[in-house]
Amino acid sequence: MNDATAFAPASVGNIGVGFDILGHTIAGPGDRVRARRIDGQEVRIAAIRGNATKLPMDAALNTAGAALIALRDALQLPFGFEIEIDKGIPFGSGMGGSAASAVAALVAANALLDTPLTRAALYPFAMTGEAVASGGRHGDNVGAMLLGGIVLSTADRLVRIAAPDAWHCILVHPEAVVETRHAREALKGAYALGDFVAQSANLALVLCGCHNGDADLVRAGLRDVLVEPRRAALIPGFAQVKQAALDRGSLGASISGAGPSVFAWFDSQAAADAAAAPMRSAFADAGIASESFVSPLNGPAAELVR
Amino acid sequence: MNDATAFAPASVGNIGVGFDILGHTIAGPGDRVRARRIDGQEVRIAAIRGNATKLPMDAALNTAGAALIALRDALQLPFGFEIEIDKGIPFGSGMGGSAASAVAALVAANALLDTPLTRAALYPFAMTGEAVASGGRHGDNVGAMLLGGIVLSTADRLVRIAAPDAWHCILVHPEAVVETRHAREALKGAYALGDFVAQSANLALVLCGCHNGDADLVRAGLRDVLVEPRRAALIPGFAQVKQAALDRGSLGASISGAGPSVFAWFDSQAAADAAAAPMRSAFADAGIASESFVSPLNGPAAELVR
C-alpha cells in the first residue's frame, strides 16, 4: 500500500480528575489525514484544509508532521511521507485537535509500513507529535484516540477503562479559543498536599465507578478540585454552563482539556441529549454561540477510512 | 447483649500511591476491645493491656474512647460504655494501631446497640477516633479494617477494591518507632503539579491492575514518588529493605502508613514468604531487629470474637 487515509476522533482530555492522564473519545468530529510514501526521507505537508488555517506547514512544527518524523527516526525508515490534513476539530477548542492530527497521521502512515506497529507502539510518537503544539508531553488525548473509549495514558503505557455502554458525554464547544499554553500558565505555582489527596480520591472514585458500573461513585468523584479552579476564569460563562449540566442530573461536568469546551457525563444518551439546550443557553447568556456533541463514553478509536 | 468483644486487624496505610485514601488489612496481628454497656453516658477505659502502655486512659484522648464518644453523641445514646483494650499492634509501628483500637471498639459497641449500624455508617466515628492520635482526619486504615481487604476510603465513602486471592503482602516491622506527627511534619511544604500527575498515574495503574488482576500494571504503578522520598530518611535501612523486596520480584514496596514498617506486594504467597529473610536481613544490617507478617491482600475485616 502506498496511500492511506485515517480519521481520528475528537476527545475530552483530563476528564476533570485525571489531569494529563485520562481522556475519552467523542464520536462525530475529528481530523482526517491522508499519507503517501515518498522517496527520500522527507516528511512534508502538502495541504492543510478545514478548521485551522493558522497551523504550520513546516512538518517539524506541526503535530502530524512531528509525529511522523519521530516515527521515521525511531524506525530508521528508508522512505518519507507526504501528508494532507483535513481539520475537522476547531483550533484551540479543547477537543484534542492537536492530538487528532498526530494520531490520524500515525495511523495512516502505519498502514504504509512493511510491518505495521501496534496502537500501543505508536503512542510515544503521538505524544512527541502533540508536544510541539502543547509544549508538554502528555498522552491523555492521543491515548484515548489510539485505543478508543476511556483510556488511562501514563508516561509509557495505555490502559483501556471500561464503562457501561449506556453512559454518554455531552461536549459543548463555545465559539471562543483558549490556547493550551495560556491554560497551562494558569496552573503555575505550588500545590497543597491536601488538594492532591482530595483529587486523588476523586480520581479513584471515578475509576472504580467506571469499573463497577456504579454511577453513584462517579457522581461522588467527578469533581476537579485541583485544576478547574485555576482555569475556570478563562472560560466566560463556565460556572453557569456546568451548573446547567448538574441541574440536568449530570454525573459531573468540567473543562475538556485546556478548554474552552465543557463536558458533562450522564448515565444515558437521553439525559445527555436533554442537557444540550440548557448548556448552550448558558453560553449564550455569556454572549457566546456554541455547538454540542453527544457521544457514548465508550467512543470510537482512530481508524483507516480507505 | 450487654458485653461484646471485637478484633480489628493491622493494616497497611497509604499503600504507597494512595496517601490517606488507600489501605489494606493484614491477617494476624491486631487489637482486641471488650465493651460493656453501662448506666449513665460516660465512656471510660477500664484497662489497656499489651503493646502500648503509653496510651492515654482518658477516653477523649484515646482513639478507642474518642470513637465511642463520637458514636454516643451522634446517636444520642442514653447509655455509656466501659472498654478494655488489648493492644496487639505495637505503638508507632505504621501498622494501623491507632485505627485498630478505634475500629475494634466501634465494632464491639455496635453489637450492643439496639439497632446496630452498618460498617459504612461506623466509618465517620472511626475517623474521628483515629484523628485524636494522628492529628489528621484520614480513613485509609480504619476503612480497610471496617470492610476488609483493599479499601478506597474517601472523606465520606468506602469502596472495596478487589484483588486476586493469590496476591500477598509482606509487612516487615522493625523495632523502631516513627511517630505519626513527625512523619507528617516531613510532608510540609509545597508540591509540584508534575509530581501529582506522576503519582496519580501510579495510583490509577495500581487500581486498574487490581481490578483487572494484571500484575504488570501494579508493577508499573506501585511506586510512591510523592511521599516516600520525603519520609524514607526517617527509617534506617529503608532503601536496602525495599531493594531486597524488589530483588525478590516484588510488585512494589514502600512505607506502611507513617512507617517505620515496610510493606511489599507479591503475586503469590510463596514469593512473599521468600522475601522475609532478605528484608529482615537488610534491617539487621542497619542494626535493627524486626518481625514480619505475610497476608493475602484480600485480608480480614474487623469482627466480633464472642
Cβ contacts of A210 on chain B, cutoff 8 Å = none
**Do residues A39 and A137 both lie within one domain?**
yes
Domain endpoint, select from B98, B132, B160: B160
Say which CATH number the domain at A50 has.
3.30.230.10
Task: Summarize pLDDT for B171-212 with one digit per residue, the tens.
Answer: 999 998 887 778 888 999 889 999 999 999 999 999 999 999
Q: Domain check: are A135 and A168 in the same one?
A: no
Query: Which of A50-54, A285-289, B207-211, B265-269 is predicted with the least confidence, judged by mean pLDDT?
Result: A50-54
pLDDT of residue B271: 98
pLDDT at B231: 95
Q: For the residues B206-231, what does the mean pLDDT come to?
A: 97
Hey, are the CB atoms on A200 and B21 less than 8 Å from each other? yes
The pLDDT score that the predictor gives to residue B181 is 74
> Which chain B residue has the Cα nearest residue A154?
B201
Q: What's the CA gap between B97 and A122, in Å, rounded? A: 48
Q: Contacts of residue A138 in chain B, CB cutoff 8 Å?
A: 197
Label residues A98-123 b or e (16+ Cβ within 10 Å = b).
bbbbbbbbbbbbbebeeeebebeebb
B135 and B178 together in one domain: no
Closest-approach residue (CA) in chain B for A137: B194
B208/A161 CB distance under 8 A:
yes
Structural domain includes residue B130: yes
pLDDT confidence tier of residue A4, bands split at 50, 70 and 90 = very high
Measured CA to CA in angstroms, residue B261 lies from A32, A104, B13, B171, B178 at distances of: 54, 49, 10, 7, 9
pLDDT at B52: 66
* Nearest-neighbour CA in chain A from B241: distance (Å): 27
The verdict on A38 and A115 lying in the same domain is yes
Structural domain total, chain A: 2
Q: Cα(B181)–Cα(B183) distance, rounded to whole angstroms?
A: 5
DSSP B157: -
> Smallest Cβ distance to B204: which of A191, A198, A207?
A207
Average pLDDT of span A156-179: 95
| Chain B residues with a Cβ under 8 Å from any Cβ in chain A | 18-22, 138, 152, 154-157, 159, 161, 187, 190-193, 196-205, 207-208, 211, 217, 220-221, 226
Distance from CA of B226 to the nearest CA of A (A): 9
Instruction: State the pLDDT at residue A178.
Output: 83
Complex ipTM value: 0.96
Residue B40 lies in a domain: yes
Q: Which of A176-190, A292-306, B131-145 has the lowest mean pLDDT?
A: A176-190
pLDDT tens digits, one per residue of A54-77: 899 999 999 999 999 999 999 999
Nearest CA in chain B to A189: B192
Are both B129 and B179 inside the same structural domain? no
The confidence score (pLDDT) of residue B249 equals 98
Task: Calculate mean pLDDT across residues B98-109.
Answer: 98
Q: Which residues of chain B have a CB within 8 Å of the CB of A187?
A: 193
Rounded CA separation A219/B200 (Å): 19
Same structural domain, A97 and A218: no
What spatial distance separates the first Cα and last Cα of chain A, rounded to whole Å? 11
Question: Are residues B157 and A203, on separate chains, in Cβ contact within 8 Å?
Answer: no
Q: Is the pLDDT of residue A239 over 80?
A: yes
In a domain, B133, yes or no: yes
Q: What is the pLDDT of residue B178?
A: 83
Residue B274 pLDDT greater than 80, yes or no: yes
Average pLDDT, rounded, for chain A: 96
Partners of residue B8 on adjacent β-strands: B31
| Any domain includes B87 | yes
Residues B146 and B11 occupy one common structural domain: yes
Domain that holds residue B97: 3-160
Pairing state of beta strands B3-13 and B22-38? antiparallel
Smallest Cα distance from A277 to chain B, Å: 33
Per-residue pLDDT, A54: 81
* Predicted local distance difference test score (pLDDT) of residue A183: 83
Average pLDDT in the B124-136 region?
Answer: 93
Q: Is the Cβ pair B203, A199 closer than 8 Å?
A: no
A19 & A143 share domain: yes
Give the confidence band of A306 by pLDDT, cuts at 50, 70, 90. confident
Contact B201 A154 (CB under 8 A): yes
- Position A52 scores a pLDDT of 66
Domain boundary among B100, B126, B160: B160
> A197–B21: do the CB atoms touch at under 8 Å?
yes
Rounded CA separation B173/B27 (Å)? 14
Q: Which of A184, A193, A227, A230 to mutate to test the interface with B (most CBs of B within 10 A)?
A: A193
pLDDT at B215: 98
Handedness of CA A33, A37, A42, A47 (dihedral sign): negative
Q: Which of B112, B141, B160 is the last residue of a domain?
A: B160
Q: How confident is the model at residue B253, as a pLDDT?
A: 98
Question: Which of the four pLDDT bands, split at 50, 70 and 90, describes residue B4?
Answer: very high
Average pLDDT of the residues in A102-111: 98
pLDDT in tens, A270-281: 999 999 999 999
Q: B44 and B142, same structural domain?
A: yes
**Same structural domain for residues A50 and A192?**
no
Whether residue A180 is predicted with pLDDT greater than 80 in this model: the reply is no
Strand arrangement, sheet containing B168-174? B252-255, B262-266, B168-174, B290-296
Quote the mean pLDDT of chain B. 96
Q: What is the CATH number of the domain that holds A283?
A: 3.30.70.890
- For residues B145 and B12, membership in a common domain is answered with yes
Measured between beta carbons, which residues in chain A are less than 8 angstroms from residue B193? 19, 187, 191
Same domain, A191 and A209: yes
Contact indicator for A174, A248 with CB cutoff of 8 Å:
no
pLDDT higher than 70, residue B220:
yes
Write the pLDDT tens digit of every residue in B23-72: 999 999 999 999 999 999 999 999 999 976 689 999 999 999 999 999 99
Q: Is B107 left (phi over 0), alpha (psi -120 to 50) or beta?
A: alpha
Residue of A nearest to B211 (CA): A211
User: Which of B17, B156, B159 is the best substitution to test chain A (most A C-beta atoms within 10 A)?
Assistant: B159
What is the Cα gyration radius of chain A? Answer: 19
Average pLDDT for residues A84-89, to the nearest whole number?
A: 97
Contacts of A204 in chain B (CB under 8 A): 18, 21-22, 152, 154, 159, 203-204, 207
Q: Please give the average per-residue pLDDT across B278-295, as a whole number.
A: 98
